[in-house]
Amino acid sequence: VIEMGQPERSVITTCAYCGVGCSFRAELKGDQVVRMVPDKNGQANHGHSCVKGRFAWGYATHPDRITKPMIRKHIDDPWQEVSWDEAVNYAASEFRRIQLKYGRDSIGGITSSRCTNEETYLVQKLVRAAFGNNNVDTCARVCHSPTGYGLKQTLGESAGTQSFDSVMQADVVLVIGANPSDAHPVFASQLKRRLRQGARLIVIDPRRIDLVDSPHARADFHLALRPGTNVAMLNALAHVIVTENLLNQPFIDARCESADFARWREFVSKPENSPEALGPICGVSPDDIRAAARLYATGGNAAIYYGLGVTEHSQGSTAVMGIANLAMVTGNIGREGVGVNPLRGQNNVQGSCDMGSFPHELPGYRHVSNDAVRHQFEHAWGVTLQPDPGLRIPNMFEAALDGTFRALYCQGEDIAQSDPNTQHVTAALSAMECVVVQDIFLNETAKFAHVFLPGSSFLEKDGTFTNAERRISRVRKVMDPLGGKADWEATIALANALGYRMDYKHPSEIMDEIARLTPTFTRVSYAELDRHGSLQWPCNDAAPDGTPTMHIEEFVRGKGRFMLTGYVPTEEKVNSRYPLLLTTGRILSQYNVGAQTRRTDNVAWHEEDRLEIHPTDAESRGIVEGDWVGVGSRAGQTVLRAKVSERVAPGVVYTTFHFPESGANVITTDNSDWATNCPEYKVTAVEVSRVYQP
């Protein structure tokens, strides 16, 4: 417990939890942080904050922090503390040995959405320039990769279209597959303010989330669809808009590809896409679907906000395209109060994607096969780059089990806990000859590591994060790295040990290089960020002050493109053995796998993950509140405590995934999005049975 007192100095920085990107004043006494105070000048939060950013920063100095590099030849050996030089030299020699034996493509790296833009940029540069391949991926693979794909196909840019403040101009808000009250609380407060002013609300979610009937705002419609049927629902909504002639024809004529629109119009007009046909599949009344579609299309400025409940499905990319189709057909894009707004989970999901962390894209979402772009980077980095995409994270696991992928550098990401089908992930990690984990704690993945490099928390480094509204904000160093190096310095040390020279003295120099090589960042620098407070990309000569709203005159791709979005049911089906559908989500006080928040006083608000089950399903299984229940799926089984709740419909169960003991990912399957391999976390067929009464 840190004793409060009068601060002696303060530093403005950015919260390292969710994609809202709140600005905070870290107040210090000596070299100890005593308070985090939301910054009233923060352009994403305007002085507001939630319990995570405000109170859950103590993990940074938790005794569990690992502050010394460690190595071990075999994962059964005890860890040996070594110097930084020894650790990075050992890692580098192992990487080179493995490449010599198994080939250039036998190693790869994973960047983290928890780290800064500068750090993720360096890791992908390390992989491309020093490893010599494109085997780099990011934890965005398992959350918003379908957003990148779907929005690029339809609108031409892999990013949300609006500022958070834009919601104050919305007349109708459609929230689908997101629970902002828990996952994006500061944005939720702003949304509720707008709802209190009279904006209308449509919620599409299997669970009765807080927004549906919170005291501040009631939804006009809650379409409680069956997990896995988002695309069917979006097609039914589009069907109503098209067949009832609620579309915005002038906008479509002026702004969209006419042949694609004609094809799509014919497709959604078919009777099989009507609410009467798809409503029963979704488990929602056709009348409610019709009424919600009319409200979205005719209620004035209509804005869509969505989250992982859209992306983490076998049709995640299709659903993102379905959302963009809805915005285009009603002309709800290209001005304040409308748009397509992915609510990014982690603080820097947007940034890690922007920085070229995907195996097929260089920074700025440019394909590695583009000769001109690749030559630009080759010239700047002094190497030859590969023109073929590398391995995605799930492909790395498969290749590890095949024996062709033998070593991994994993920065700030706990894949053994956060990726689906844990048994498969750990088998792949066990098969590798060298796993290098860089993290602040000895996480689950570190159990399979041969080298551990101490990571640095957001308080220990300079850099930038990019939030869900494309806002680049400064992260400022508050204290020295406990492990002696910030993450960007560790990557530089590893590159140099591999014989690839990196020579940055400060993260501002890395940002200057990013700006030189990325057309959407050309006017971004630390000096400009200090001058403006923050900047929303694109920020270049055409938009020197940044771009709060995108696609105003035309879409980034020129004309908007309607994409066909045929509904394909997930392969994850209920049957007599697994009759319930499990879906997952977050709770306000905790964050993702809980590595940070579990090490703060926030555990007082949420001590364990529980399984929400409807009273009828509980009763038929003899389950009462607080019982321990076994949850079994085709992938595995775990034990959770039951919470009997009408927030879920009969046939649906729900849990959070903040505690490793809950084993949520032991039961999730290998199914993934057809376009991006984003795991289908949100639909798992399970059976639930009482284990014993506590």
Q: Which is nearer to ligand SF4, 52 or 194 (CB)?
A: 52
Shorter beta-carbon distance to ligand SF4: residue 112 or 330:
112
Structure tokens at 414: 């706990």
CB of 15 to ligand SF4, least distance (A): 3
Residue among 581, 632, 638 nearest 609 (CA): 638
Is 233 a binder of ligand SF4 (CB under 6 A)? no
For residue 453, the tally of other CB atoms under 10 A from its CB is 28
Q: How far is the CB of 468 from ligand SF4 (least distance, A)?
A: 10
In the shown chain, the binding pattern of residues 21 to 40 toward ligand SF4, with x for contact by CB under 6 A and - for none, equals xx------------------
**DSSP character for 3?**
P
Q: How far apart are CA 396 and CA 109, in angstroms?
A: 10
Residue among 425, 423, 415, 401 nearest 635 (CA): 423
Question: Residue 582 Cβ, how far from ligand SF4 at the closest point, in Å?
Answer: 25
Considering beta carbons, is residue 10 or 645 the nearer one to ligand SF4?
A: 10
Nearer to ligand SF4, 17 or 659 (CB): 17
* Residue from 156, 185, 331, 585 in contact with ligand SF4 (CB under 6 A): 185
* 542: number of Cβ within 10 Å: 10
Which of these, 329, 332, 351, 330, lies nearest to 340 by C-alpha position? 332
Among 136, 172, 178, 186, binds ligand SF4 (CB under 6 A): 186
Beta strands in 199-251 (DSSP E): 200-204, 214, 217-218, 221-223
Contact pick of 18, 328, 400, 618 for ligand SF4 (by CB under 6 A) = 18
CB neighbour list of residue 77: distance below 8 Å, 6 or more residues apart: none
**Using the rule CB under 6 A, which residue among 10, 12, 13, 20 binds ligand SF4?**
20
Quick one: which of 10, 12, 13, 17 contacts ligand SF4 (CB under 6 A)? 17
- Pick between residue 18 and residue 295 the one whose CB is nearest to ligand SF4: 18
Q: State the minimum distance, in angstroms, from the CB of residue 591 to ligand SF4.
A: 7
Touching ligand SF4, residues 351-380 (CB under 6 A): none
Min dist. Cβ of residue 466 to ligand SF4 (A) = 13
Long-range contacts of 187-195 (CB under 8 A, 24+ apart): 187/20, 187/343, 189/48, 190/48, 190/164, 190/165, 191/167, 191/217, 191/305, 192/216, 192/217, 193/168, 194/167, 194/168, 194/170
What part of residues 404-463 is at the interface with ligand SF4 (CB under 6 A)?
A: none
Instruction: Pick the stretch among 50-58, 77-85, 121-129, 240-248 that binds ligand SF4 (CB under 6 A).
Output: 50-58
Window contacting ligand SF4 (CB under 6 A); options: 49-57, 321-329, 481-489, 576-584 = 49-57
DSSP state of 281: H
Spell out the residues 6+ positions from residue 600 whose beta carbon is closer than 8 angstroms to its own: 55, 56, 57, 58, 59
Q: Identify which range of 180-188, 299-307, 621-629, 678-686 contacts ligand SF4 by CB under 6 A.
A: 180-188
Q: Is the CB of 53 or the CB of 342 nearer to ligand SF4?
A: 53
- CA–CA dist 630, 622 (Å, integer): 13
Please state the closest distance from residue 170 (CB atom) to ligand SF4, in A: 19
Kindly tell me which of 229 and 589 has the beta carbon lying closer to ligand SF4. 589
Asked if the peptide bond before residue 538 counts as cis, ω within 30 degrees of 0, the response is yes
> How far, in Å, CA of 304 to CA of 332, rounded?
9
Residue 52 binds ligand SF4 (CB under 6 A): yes
Place of tokens 């009462």: 624
Nearer to ligand SF4, 21 or 337 (CB): 21
Applying CB under 6 A, the site for ligand SF4 has a residue count of: 14
Task: Using the minimum distance from each CB to ligand SF4, give the nearer residue, 89 or 602.
Answer: 602
- Report the residue number, 25 or 184, with the smaller CB distance to ligand SF4: 184
SS (H, E, C) 95-117: HHHHHHHHCHHHEEEEECCCCCH
Is the Cβ of residue 128 or residue 194 nearer to ligand SF4 in the bound state?
Answer: 194
How far out from the chain centre does Cα 156 lie? 20
Closest distance to ligand SF4 from the beta carbon of 205 (Å): 19
Q: How far is the CB of 50 from ligand SF4 (least distance, A)?
A: 3
| Segments in 385-506 forming alpha helices (H) | 393-402, 415-418, 422-431, 487-497
The one segment of 179-187, 373-381, 427-435, 519-527 that binds ligand SF4 by CB under 6 A: 179-187
Nearest to 428 by CA among 411, 412, 410: 410
Among residues 50, 115, 176, 435, which is the contact residue for ligand SF4, using CB under 6 A? 50
Whole-number Cα distances in Å, 545 to 355, 539, 549? 20, 6, 12
Stretch that binds ligand SF4, among 43-51, 254-262, 329-337, 482-490 (CB under 6 A): 43-51
Residue 190 tokens read as 């702003």
Q: Which residue is nearest to ligand SF4 (CB)?
A: 53
Binders of ligand SF4 in range 53-72 (CB under 6 A): 53
Q: Would you count residue 15 as binding ligand SF4 (CB under 6 A)?
A: yes
Q: Return the CA Rg of the chain.
A: 24
Instruction: Return the number of the residue (59 or 452) whose C-beta is nearest ligand SF4.
Output: 59
CA dihedral 552, 554, 557, 560 (to 10 degrees): 100
Site residues for ligand SF4 per CB under 6 A: 15, 17-18, 20-22, 45, 49-50, 52-53, 184-186
